[in-house]
Amino acid sequence: MPTYYVGPGGNDGNDGLSWANRFLTLNGAEDEPVAAGDTVYVAPGIYRELLTCDVSGSSGQPITYIGDVTGVNTDNIGGVVRITGSDNDLTGVRAYCVYSAAKEYRTFRGFSFDLATTSFVRFDDDVGEVIIEDCYFGESVDFADEGLRFWNCVASDTYIIRRCFFIAGEKALYLANTSGEVAISSSSLIENCIFFGSAYGDAVHVDRVVGFDIKNCLFFARDKAVFSATATTGSFDVLNSIFVFNVSALEAQATGDIVEDYNAVPGNNATQRTNVNTGSNSNAYPMLGQTINQAYRWPWNLFMLSKDSQLTAIAGSSEATEDFFGITRPTTSSKKSWGPIQYQPATRETTETRGSSAGSLKLPDAGRTQITVPVFAASTTISVYVKREANYAGTNPQMIIKEPGQSDRTKTDAGSSGSWNELTDTFTPSGDVDFVIVELVSDNTATSGSYAAYFDDLAVT
């Protein structure tokens, strides 16, 4: 099960087994050929090609293509890994960016797709299991296309789409079986995705496919957000999701085709639901998303919940364990957020500080905050002081050091509540990375009393 490398400056005549001997194109790796269990790292750059999947992986040994956006496995720089259907960014010349016909067990992670003329990514017939995660389906040549299409879905096959952002198309995500109703694997899910548009085109368009879940997604300014195009005897579920500014939020041909619950459906232009019963735990709470001045990330800040939203901490059903950014959600259901992005409650605190510090970082309840720390390949010590209040319950506060390509390093507060306790870790970063993420964590499970966690005096030496 070799690992292959693709990147600018490569040559498809190389063996692809190292960065120095990388392929130039994705098809260069595919035509090696890749085999079950192989991984292909694709460096940042623009790939103006149609990747045609020629072979299958196998159960437990998929063929995995990874867009190496951090650069840790390829160029050590990082950036967007783009596959485009256009040779000039003006005119689409290819029907697809990725096309697979009956090739099973494939995974794609970390890619940006755009400007194809039919579907950006299309899978036909039997897939075994296909996973699409951390991908961006961007601008289209025209509106008559799909972002991600699964055509002729097969019973018991598994389709998993996680942490993806969809702009494209008449149908952003399309699952269909035109020959009759099909129940795909119950493990199939669409999770932590954002569907954004301009009141044109469906977000999730389903035709005769049942048995899967849509959960913790945001549907923002589409035509039909979730649409079941043909009456079915089975159904699919929609949970913990938010619908805002769509023409129609949930629409089916017959009552029972879509089962929805624990969703916020506050304001959509024409109809909230058509032939869809209102879930007993659903509500019309407004999203109250953050404005540009309140947030730190663009463009995702428009889709993050503000501190005033009633959806920041609310019990759902079978919630996603991570969010759109891959950040772990709280353990307690009632502290998790609906939608794809978990609300993080970090604030600046000036009265509860350590020593002469002017302010500490306060997590008033379960949540996480991340700090990017530049590093180089030398012994490094990262430390922070933490203080938890008397009624804090659950796993004590933690400092987690995340280094690209390495396992997380976790330090947990083992001191007494009410006192400042030091969390410290000494390690030597890999020579291939320029930064680590320091994640400060409260996993409080208490619901009454005083249970905040404070962090102060973060030091890097």
The pLDDT tens digits for 352-361 are 999 999 999 9
Domains of the chain with CATH codes: 3-302 (2.160.20.10), 347-460 (2.60.120.260)
Q: How far apart are CA 95 and CA 395, in angstroms?
A: 50
Beta strands per DSSP E along 115-270: 119-124, 129-133, 136-137, 146-151, 158-162, 165-166, 171-176, 182-183, 189-191, 194-196, 202-207, 209-210, 213-215, 218-220, 224-228, 236-239, 242-244, 248-251, 258-261, 264-267
Q: Which of 52-66, 190-204, 329-343 has the lowest mean pLDDT?
A: 190-204
Give pLDDT, residue 197. Answer: 85
The pLDDT tens digits for 109-134 are 999 999 999 999 999 999 999 999 99
Q: Find the mean pLDDT for residues 76-104.
A: 94
Q: Quick check: 453 pLDDT over 50? A: yes
Give pLDDT, residue 349. Answer: 96
Give pLDDT, residue 291. Answer: 52
Q: Binning pLDDT at 50, 70 and 90, where does residue 44 land?
A: very high
CA distances from 234 to 134, 184, 186 (A): 29, 11, 12
Q: Which of 5-19, 286-300, 360-374 has the lowest mean pLDDT?
A: 286-300
Q: Report yes or no on whether pTM surpasses 0.85.
A: yes
Q: Binning pLDDT at 50, 70 and 90, where does residue 270 land?
A: low
Give pLDDT, residue 289. Answer: 72
Q: How far apart are CA 14 and CA 11, in angstroms?
A: 6
- Nearest Cα to Cα of residue 166 among 223, 112, 117, 130: 112
The pLDDT tens digits for 226-267 are 999 999 999 999 999 999 989 999 999 999 999 999 999 997
